[in-house]
Amino acid sequence: MGTKSDRAFTWSLVPIGVLYLGRWGLFTLLIPPLGKMDAWQRGAVLVLIRFLLIGVVLWMEWGYWEDFYLTRRNLKKSLLDGVWVGLAFVPIGLVYAKLTLGDVYWLPVREWLITFLAALIPSGLQEEIEYRAFLLGVTQRWNIPAVWAVVLIGLLFGPVHHNRYIWSGNYVVLGIVTAFGLVVTWLTLKRRNVAGAVVGHTAMDFLIFLFIGGKVSTL
């Protein structure tokens, strides 16, 4: 088996790059019919496209998944990290709801399952594989110092990926997601495992919807 330096520049960078650019509308540009679909249909198709590309990367990187923190190494510790991140977000989410909405608007129980699945599949799982697995793994193959890798991936996930909060002036949420991105990037590097980031991300997204319920439009 080769070394990380042997794989600093591989063809897998192409689908990884497409995945990231897809967050900026590349898929809609390349597939015009997407723009004519209803929001939920377009979202479902985009999720499928991203998972297809993720599968391509994993196939191209067969035998090197540990480079992207897709491993059983430190799995229990990583999962526990994710649980702690989720628990830490409980007071944050409650305070956010109180300060911005004046109260907690609980999500109806009948919507919990679909909300959890939405938090897990397109957000917790897909986005963490893209950011904390693929992009972070590439920075380490390129020998970018850990501290700069944490800052870079944290900013790409925060102000860049969630730039809508800049345009809307919602700096509270922007600060929360940026801080989250920095923390879970650091934890991923520390544990050499992305599982904790997936759990923490899923918990964060689910909890914020749980606390603001019918006021989701405020995001």
Identify the domain containing residue 102 by its residue range: 66-218
Question: Per the domain annotation, does 141 fall within a domain?
Answer: yes
Q: What's the sign of the alpha-carbon dihedral 72, 177, 148, 19?
A: positive
Question: Per the domain annotation, does 37 fall within a domain?
Answer: no
Question: Per the domain annotation, does 70 fall within a domain?
Answer: yes
Report the share of the chain in percent with pLDDT over 90.
81
pLDDT tens, residue by residue, 102-147: 899 999 999 999 999 999 999 999 999 999 999 999 999 999 999 9
Question: Per the domain annotation, does 111 fall within a domain?
Answer: yes
User: What secondary structure, in 3-state letters, does 21-75 show?
Assistant: HHCCCHHHHHCHHHHHCCHHHHHHHHHHHHHHHHHHHHHHCCCCHHHHCCCCCCH
Question: Per the domain annotation, does 86 fall within a domain?
Answer: yes
pLDDT tens, residue by residue, 38-95: 988 999 999 999 999 999 999 999 999 999 999 999 999 999 999 999 999 999 999 9
Which pair of tokens denotes residue 34? Answer: 């997407």
Question: Per the domain annotation, does 61 fall within a domain?
Answer: no
- Please tell me the total count of domains within the chain: 1
Task: Report the b/e string of 73-102 with b at 16+ CB within 10 A.
Answer: ebeeebbebbeebbeebeebbeebbeeeee
Question: Per the domain annotation, does 38 fall within a domain?
Answer: no
Q: Is the pLDDT of residue 6 over 90?
A: no
Question: Per the domain annotation, does 60 fall within a domain?
Answer: no
What's the confidence (pLDDT) of residue 113? 95
